[in-house]
A and B are shown apart, each in its own frame.
Chain A
Amino acid sequence: MRLQIPNFRLRSARRTLAGVILALVTSTTVVRAEMIDRVLAVVAQQLITLSDVNAALELGLETAPATGDPIRAVLTRLIDRELVLAEVDRYAPAEPTTGAVDDQIRIVRDRFPSAAAFSSALARSGIDELHLRETLRQNLRIAAYLSQRFAAAPDRRQTLIDEWMTGLRRRADVIDLYLGS
């Protein structure tokens, strides 16, 4: 019995020590530095960062798929967007009106319950309203370009766009650094 006490104490001490180590190890794991931004891809010298992906998701400019890696899915779409934008810049379609860009801003703003929530989402992504405005303007230019270029065959429009995109991707100079989560 006497022997059992120290034995118990030893076991108890061991357990306590293991628990402390576990707690410290766990705590060490949780206090690791958090990645707040990084380069995910480079398309024709244009960077796409993690904060770009976050911004697209938070502001509802892109939607994450129900399954799979949301960052991968949005990144792929942003890469495609840059490729299309390079084409758009070459042909300079009609400039969207200020009103049209305002409408787009309003749609994004309406996704948030308050102006503060909207501002907070912008701040989290590291962009301001001017940046958002420019992004939406570019989206309108892309839309104008696509409807101008693929207006002739509305029934086959999406197929033609997909084929064209495949060609753009094949010729593109893309560095994709994202390996998935």
Chain B
Amino acid sequence: MLRRSAMARAALLGLWLWCATAPQSDAAITDYLGRTIASVRLLTEGRDTTDPLLTQVVETVAGQPLSMAQVRESIAHLFSLGRFEDVRVDATLEGGRVVLRYDLVPIHPVTKIQFAGPLNVPGVDVGQLRRAVVDRYGASPPLGRLADMTRIIGDELREEGYLRASITPRPEVAHAPEHATLVFTIDPGPRTTIGEVQIVGRPTVSPEEFRSRLRLTTGAPYRREALNQRIEKYVEERRKRGYYESQVLPAVQLVDDDRVANVTVTVAPGPLVRVKFTGDPLPSSKHEDLVPVEREGSVDEDLLEDSSNRIEEGLRAQGYRDATAAHSREAIQGELVITFDVKAGRQYRVASLNLSGTSAVTQAELEPILRLHAGQPFSEERLDADTAAVQDFYRRRGYASATARPTADFQTTASAVAQVPVAVTIAISEGVRTLVDGVTFTGNVAIDATALGAGVALQPGAPFVPSQIAADRERLQIRYQNLGYGSASVDAVPQFSQDNTHVTVQFTIHEGPQIFVEHILIVGNVRTSTETIERELQVKQGGPFSVSAINDSQRRLTELGLFHRVQITELPHGEENQRDLLVTIEEAPPTTIAYGGGFEIGRITVPDPITGNADQVYEAAPRASLEIGRRNLFGKNRSLNLFSSISLHPKGSVDDSQGPVTTGNTYGLTEYRVVGTYREPRLFDTPLDALVNVTIEQQIRSSFNYRRESASAQVSKRLNRSLVATGSYQLQRTELLEVKIDESDPLIDRLFSPLPIRLSSFTGSLVNDTRDDQFNPRSGLFLSASGQIAAEAIGSQVGFVKSYFTAQGFHLLPHTNGIVLAGSARVGLAAEFNFEDPIPEPERFFAGGDTTVRGFALDSLGVRHIPPDLIHDTINVDGFPIGGDGLVIFNAELRVPVQGGLGVVGFVDTGNVFARASFIDFAELRSAIGGGVRYKSPIGPIRIDLGFKIRPQPGESLTAWYVSFGQAF
């Protein structure tokens, strides 16, 4: 029996030992490595998931041998998706194969913040507490910041007098979807109230009023920050009244277990301060800038010392090099009088300025860079600046050792004359000119020396400019960084010949490792296809990790207009010479609705009700617009847009010479426009963008009104960052509604067709836009050329060719506060194939108005001869414009920012409309000058312009003004 029992025990022990020592029980990582992976499971909170976004970033694959490198990489990918707060990988052996399990612990975003506890007590505002948390950590604060959030809530409660509030945070986690509610349980505890209040010192108001202004009432809640703010306001008021040394200091003693705060306020009113200037006068408008006692609210010694220095420096810049402005303090009848005793002394003026030692450079070349000239007040500061400029001038021309030394000979005489002449000399030692003999590169492997040499400014044969070395080093470094050599560094050593006339610059390059992009993970796109996003990425998997390409990709994705937010971040990676990129996008709503309304005020041409002649009047027309857009159709960045606008023009008009007169209660012709647009980027997977447009409109022009239905199809291709080529086909039907030209006019039959006209045409254009901003450019160029052909062979009732050229330039003037010089030139040329079938009216060129030649009413510009010249005139005998086949417009505008969003402009506009392109005659251009105001309002940039005609013709008014949006060009 005993033997049997012992045998059983031995057998059990053997079983236990077998189990305990089984190979799978004690597996080290080495036991798994290299073994075939049986399966890979992904679990989120214990549940299996086959989310393709997750499975696609896992590198360990069933059937493949297990590699720790792949495990590491998979962890990095999964974690980088930003969805998990922890990733763990477990392995087990099953039949000699590895079962891998990725345990993913999801982040539980906080979707709700709640407060619990006895909160119905005065001063506890749950909304305020929530705002404090959200303002600091957002609406979905990270759970990792619980301690900080608790502290913030505690601070808020302390400010309300709850000094011993207890706050207990608790996240309540929920699943499917993963989220958490953050609950703060608050026990405010007792509220501290103000106990005894003691005022020490002598406030300038009665103690009762002082207490009342600081709201220091016994029994009131003690709110420390609010008390400090009231004290600050009181002190501020005192300082505004000249009591710059006024001080109010609170001291608080907490008693009765912090339930009561005894407050002692020490008041030091300080004397009334008066600033006085004696001696030589200073402009009173400058007093506050020179001695900013009032602005700073202080009379401390440092500020007064700075003020003295400021006055002296100002006077020295005006040639008073011996100027002094000592200050003193004096108490006079309860006032503190601060006196600045200004002694300007004699003024020093430059009698002569000589440059000596010049040989390789002429004085005429140096003079433009000098700020000091004969006859000007002498300033040492300016002389030093000129000396440095001369030295720099030489160095830029290869004179690396050139020096310039200034001397000033003060020609003082015994007699006390008011002005002292100064003979200024800048002695130049040119030294030798150093030319670059050669530029060599060492340490470069990835880029050959020829390519590197072509990219630097230092070139053999060119003058050696020392500062160029640093610029070239930076260029080389950026070039390497763009190839993925993020840690590349470049050293440069110049080796001079014995006589310093030649130099060889040696660049030593430490390339460091090249970093490549291994994976690009795109997350956050729900509607947008991954392909659409990938198309805009300038970095590719396997390509170099280029920071500039990443920035470029981010810009391109943002420019798609499909996303609220685009972020490309670098992911940590198992391999340090490889990076993964995570493209996180937040999609914008697919449907957009925009609407607007307002008044359009413009000067238009109308027939006089009695004579029928053209008359120019101001008209205000209410207008409204509605735009509905659906973007990112089918996730391919296609978009569909419907824009409609309506403008109600009064039947009567407002004559500017007689003030507003209402001549009818009903509206006249309604202007409207309905435009449907479909945009398809990368048509048929080509680099072409396509646009299909359908328009129905009814418009009012100066000499006629028209209704038009049109459709167009356009393809465009971006040739480079700024250059776009476009080709389009248009089919349109235009019907004239009201021709304001007298039927007896000899041109009426030729120019104004009584029947609707069908036009079928092709247009090609090329646009090069390097402006920094489309709406308010400060620099860059806008160049465009377009050509249109309409012919009977393609279904048009009229055949013609038409071209239009635009060149606009914008230049920020240096050394100004943002002043922009803008210029524009526009030329239009057109010709019909058959003189009997002239170009239809709406297709002709018109000019005059707020975007062409200001000073003239809309479309009213044209050639007019007396007596009428039926061949050349583009204004008929009644004064109505009939349009032309030739157009020239030139504009120049100076845009000056004033303050905030306010700016002013001055402009010169000139141009005209000619009957035929061959009739263009610059002698017949009409011009206007004027000015205007620009204001960047919350609803858009508002523009008001007033133009004055230069040499107005008989019957023309001198001026025209406009109110509109945006810049004129």
Contact = CB atoms under 8 A, between A and B. Distances in A.
A69 interface: no
A178 to B, nearest CB: 10
Interface string A121-132: 001111110110
B12 A12 contact: no
Contacts of B755: none
Contact of A30 (B15, B19, B30, B32): B19
Interface string B11-36: 01001100110101111011011000
A37 to B, nearest CB: 5
Contacts of B489: 92, 94-95
Given A19-B12, A23-B15, A177-B86, A36 B68 contact: yes
A123 B35 CA distance: 13
B91 interface: yes
Interface stretch (A41-49, A145-153, A154-162, A163-171): A41-49
Interface in A102-149: 120, 123-128, 130-131, 134-135, 137-138, 141
Contacts of B75: 37-39, 47, 49
A124 B33 contact: yes
A26 interface: yes
Contacts of B88: 35, 37-39
A37 B577 contact: no
B958 interface: no
Give chain B's interface secondary structure class.
mixed
Contact of B487 (A22, A95, A177): A95
A109 B576 CA distance: 19
B859 to A, nearest CB: 60
Interface residues of B, number: 53
B851 interface: no
B89 A36 contact: yes
B569 interface: yes
Given A26-B20, A34-B92, A123-B68, A20 B15 contact: yes
Nearest to B89: A37
Nearest to B15: A23
Contact of B20 (A30, A126, A131): A30
Interface in B613-672: none
Given A15-B8, A47-B572, A131-B575, A34 B91 contact: yes
B72 A134 contact: no
Contact of A31 (B25, B32, B70, B87): B25
Contact of B72 (A19, A51, A177): A51
A33 B90 contact: yes
A141 to B, nearest CB: 8
B67 interface: yes
Contacts of B76: 47
A10 interface: no
A99 B32 CA distance: 36
A30 B67 contact: no
B901 interface: no
A24 interface: yes
B512 interface: yes
A175 interface: yes
A12 B5 contact: yes
B385 interface: no
A9 to B, nearest CB: 10
B574 interface: yes
B96 interface: no
Contacts of B87: 38-39
Contacts of B804: none
B25 A8 contact: no
> A-B pairs with the 6 shortest C-beta distances?
A126-B68, A30-B25, A27-B19, A134-B576, A19-B12, A33-B90
Interface of B: 1, 4-5, 8-9, 12, 15-16, 19-20, 22, 24-27, 29-30, 32-33, 67-72, 75-76, 79, 85-92, 99, 101, 144, 487-489, 510, 512-513, 569-572, 574-577
